Amino acid sequence: MALTRTGNILNVNFPFAKKGWDVKPPATHILLNGTYHGMPVSPWRTTLVARSMNELVNSDLITNLCPPPPAGSDFSWVKPGRSLWQWWSVGSPKYEDQKNWYDAAAKLKWEYYLVDDGWRYWKQPGKDQWTLLKEVIDYGKTVGVKSIVWVDSKEFRKADDRKAYLEKVKAVGADGIKIDFIPDATADIMQWYAETQQECADLHLLLNFHGSVKPTGLRRTFPNDITREAIRGNEYHMTRYRRVMPPQHDVTVPFTRFLAGPADFTSVILNPKELATTKFTWPHEFAQAIVYLSPITHFADQYQFYIDNPMFDLFQQVPTTWDETKVLSCTSMGDIVAFARRKGNTWWIGVMNGATEQEVKIPLDFLTKPTKATLVYDGDTNTSVDRKEQTVSKKDVLTIKLRPSGGFVAKM
What digits encode the pLDDT tens for the residues 259-284? 999 999 999 999 999 999 999 999 99
Q: Are 199 and 162 in contact (CB under 8 A)?
A: yes
Residues in the chain, how many?
412
Domain boundaries, the chain: 2-64, 81-321, 326-411
CA distances from 40 to 27, 35, 195 (A): 18, 4, 19
CB 45 within 8 A of CB 33: no
End-to-end CA distance of the chain: 42
| Mean pLDDT score, 86-105 | 97
The pLDDT assigned to 14 comes to 84
User: ∠ CA 168-208-311 to the nearest 5 degrees?
Assistant: 115
- In 205-357, beta strands by DSSP E: 206-209, 225-228, 296-298, 324-327, 336-343, 346-353
Cα separation, 201 vs 223, in Å, equals 8
In whole angstroms, give the CA distance from residue 62 to residue 216. Answer: 7
**Cβ atoms of residues 229 and 212 within 8 Å:** yes
Q: Average pLDDT, stretch 108-136?
A: 98
pLDDT exceeds 60 at position 25: no
Q: If you classify domain 81-321 with CATH, what class do you get?
A: alpha beta
Show the CA angle centred on residue 276, arms to residues 270 and 277, nearest 5°: 120
* 326-411 CATH fold: Immunoglobulin-like (2.60.40)
Count Cβ atoms within 10 A of the Cβ of residue 23 and give its class: 0-12 exposed, 13-18 middle, 19 or more buried.
exposed
Task: Sort 120 into a burial class: Cβ within 10 Å, 0-12 / 13-18 / 19+.
Answer: middle
User: Measuring CA to CA, which residue among 385, 386, 388 is closest to residue 373?
Assistant: 388
Q: Does the predicted model carry a pTM greater than 0.85? A: yes
What band does 39 get if pLDDT is binned at 50, 70 and 90? confident
Alpha carbons 220 and 199: distance in angstroms, whole number:
16
Least confident range of 24-38, 101-115, 357-371? 24-38
Bridge partners (DSSP) of residue 2 are 13
